[in-house]
Structure 1
Amino acid sequence: MKYACLFHRLLLLTLTLVMMSGCSIPQTTPEQQWEHAEKGAYAADISVDGQYAVVSGANNGINVWHVKDNKPMYHWSHQGEGANLVASVHISADDKVVVTSDRDAFALWDMTNGEPIGFWRIDESSIRAIAVANGGKGVLVGRSNGQVMYFEHATGRRLEFFGHQEKVNSVDISPNGKYALTGGNDYVAYLWDTDNGQIVHTFTHPSRVTLVALDDKGRYAFTADSQQKSQIWDLQTGAPVSNLQYIARQKIFTDAVFSDDGKYLLTGSPSRRIYLWDVKTGEPRAEWKVAPREDASPPSAVVYAVGFVGNNEILSESSSGLAELWKIDDE
């Protein structure tokens, strides 16, 4: 009887924690699944409309996919046909340009014809994160020395942002190239003007900032640290809107995207999980779990990219080399 009571109490505690977290058991069966990198992937990004994915594969360079047609559009090699070391990929909001980078160099590619636009080497410090504005107007390069470079390839203009005191972990850029959002190991994320490097808003955290993301329509910013503060901010005022609600002592995010209507935030994680959050309240609304590689032991996968596809579907790309399409259930 004593053990039965103990089991009952543990069961009640488990159910209570699940209810407190606001999450149900994650969905693990996607609507569709496609293999985009046979031996796994190093990096990926998904276009704003969810039609295209760019995947840096462990053994086959960089490939651009038209997702639902399951058709490879282009194959790119960053530095010849040797080992592919591209660990950062970003598609511009207008689907016109892609930027890719390894630790030492970055390249711009034309999505309309698959041709390279340019290749630039960085000598001062290794590249940690990249982002590109519409039409390739400007490129952000976050580096391990704490500096962020804003670069316009058409004019050769280069601006260095020196706001961070330690290495930069994540960057994002507004579609028009006017504003940059950057976060680093110095516990700070900055929104700054790429015309002059002036800081517009400062977002502070109690630990190192691991991910930043801008709403393409200029409404919100998202910043997350290595512990428990994952904050949505009003981009116009710099005021907090909500903090993501979870009971875990630590939660790391690998990608974040706002829905077109501004109601939801979609995030990926290194633990196979995808989460849908309510922007206004920070409450979780849904959860999915991507597939690991078949030969992975233990079975794990990093969610590199997430994206909305219309109003009721989402797309994910993960280190397993798989693209997976998931349905958002009506509430």
Structure 2
Amino acid sequence: MRIIRTLIVTSLISLTIACQPQQSDAIKQYPHAASGAYDAALTSDGHYSLVSTVEHGVAVWDNQVNALKFQWYLSEDEQNLVIALDIAPDGSAAVTATKEQFAVWDMATGKNRGYYQIDKSHIRDIAISKEGRYVLYGRADGVAVHVDLQTGRRIEFLGHQEKINAVALSPNGFYALTGGNDYSAYLWDTRSGQVVYRFNHASRVTQVALDPQARFAFTAGSKKQAIIWDLTTGAQHSNLQYIARQKIFSAVRFSDDAKWLATGSPSRELALWNIDTGERVLDYLVAAREHSQPKSAVVFAVAFTGNNQLITESSSGLSEYFEIKRSK
């Protein structure tokens, strides 16, 4: 997901504030970033959104009432663009990161829990565990770092040979999934640094995700290979079925019942997949800004709401809702 940002940052900065969204399949739309977003995250139920804005730091939105809850800046003196962020699975804390530093925030009070500077290379992706205790980040030098913010314990995973593109962390913080340009994704134990499974691809791994109930993992390569893995055996459970020779996924979410997978892409596409068969069940388009260049939008985050809907945050700066109407 993070490799997409270098391709779209120029166009995001040039977005026009007053422009109107192009047509999408959404049943509801709400503006969350007038000049466009650079990244976003959602709680698992879609209740809260984090939106990294081009001009105004990170905006925290309460989606149940569509109200701005907090606004966070990593520095009061510098315009540090947040390039990666995540919300803890229990919604208690959040993490925001620039290339060189990250900050942890309390989602109830909005207060900062600490600022942290990394010692080398730069951050490509970041994740946070329940209660905000553990943080995992992947670096451009191929090193993944797991930090216990309570004890200060820090472990580096050196399995990757090239830069890391995406990371995911189990809710308890004990397992990490990392994917990189070395055509590999690793599931590894953060307490020992030992590899549990290695998932091989025919191209660089651009996206990873974990089912919070530890049933499945998702890894996607850049060339027609997006796989759901069974975490009890490490074997392939299904392969997403699509025709495109190259497809990048910029957002992924497992449903709570582990029957469905929702994905977003850099080309406005939102899709719902059957986990068991890999079949695409539903397709949608998010909105793009009329005067943006190119005329597209990156889906940064997706979540299943409790009322049979999907909610997204995208580079258009819009939060959008889509009705799930499944025929199967």
Paired amino acid for 1:270: P
Residues 1:278 and 1:124: Cα distance change in structure 2 (over 3 Å) = same
Any conservation in 1 of the 2:282–2:326 contact (CA below 8 Å)? Answer: no
Residue of structure 1 equivalent to 2:198: 202
Distance in 2 between residues matched to 1:330 and 1:169, nearest whole Å:
32
Letter in structure 2 aligned against 1:310: G
Distance in 1 separating the partners of 2:268 and 2:119: 34
Is the contact made by 1:58 and 1:84 (CA closer than 8 Å) also made in structure 2? no
Which of 28, 31, 51 is residue 32 of structure 1 equivalent to? 28
In 2, are the aligned partners of 1:50 and 1:309 still within 8 Å (CA)?
yes
5 Å matches for 1:47-126? 47-126=43-122
Paired position in structure 2 for 1:324: 320
Tell whether 2:274 aligns with 1:278: yes
Structure 2 residue 189 is matched with structure 1 residue 193: yes
Instruction: Identify the structure with bigger relative contact order (alpha carbons < 8 Å, sequence gap 6+).
Output: 2
Show structure 2 runs of 5+ residues with no match. 1-22
Partner of 2:234: 238
**Structure 1: 5+ residue stretches without partners:** 1-26
Q: Secondary structure at the match of 1:190?
A: strand
Q: Distance in 2 between matches of 1:151 and 1:297?
A: 39
Aligned equivalent of 1:16? none
Alpha-carbon distance in 2 for matches of 1:239, 1:297 = 41
- Letter aligned with residue 160 of structure 1: E
CA displacement 1:275-310 (0-9 Å, x = unmatched): 100000000000110111132134211111011002
- Does residue 144 of the first structure (1) align with residue 157 of the second (2)? no
**Are residues 190 and 224 of structure 1, via their aligned partners in 2, closer, same or farther at CA, if it must alter by over 3 Å?**
same
Instruction: Please list the CA deviations of residues 110-146 of structure 1 after superposition, one character each: whole Å capped at 9, or x if unmatched.
Output: 1011000111111311100000000012100100000
Following TM superposition, by how much is the alpha carbon of 1:35 offset from its aligned partner in structure 2, in angstroms? 0.5
The one-letter code sitting in structure 2 at the alignment partner of 1:220 is: F
Amino acid in structure 2 at the alignment position of 1:309: T
- Residues 81 and 40 from structure 1, CA distance in 2 versus in 1: closer, same or farther, beyond 3 angstroms? farther
Q: Following the alignment from structure 1 to structure 2, what is the Cα–Cα distance between the partners of residues 205 and 40? A: 33
Q: Does 1:211 align with 2:207?
A: yes
**Alignment deviations for residues 141-167 of structure 1 (CA, whole Å, 9 cap, x no partner):** 100000010001111100010010100
- More divergent stretch after superposition (306-315 vs 188-197): 306-315
* CA distance in 2 between partners of 1:325 and 1:68 (Å): 12
Report deviation, 1:28. Answer: 2.5
* Equivalent residue number for residue 225 of structure 1: 221
Partner SS for 1:277: strand
Measured in 2, the distance between the counterparts of 1:236 and 1:79 equals 43
| Matched residue SS, 2:131 | helix
Q: Deviations over 1:17-66 (max 9, x none)?
A: xxxxxxxxxx9331211100010000100100111000001111101101
Aligned 8 A contact 1:60 1:84 in 2: no
Cα RMSD for the two superposed structures: 1.1
Name 2:12's counterpart in structure 1.
none
Which residue is equivalent to 1:21?
Answer: none
Compare CA radii of gyration and give the structure with the larger one: 1
Alignment match, 2:156: 160
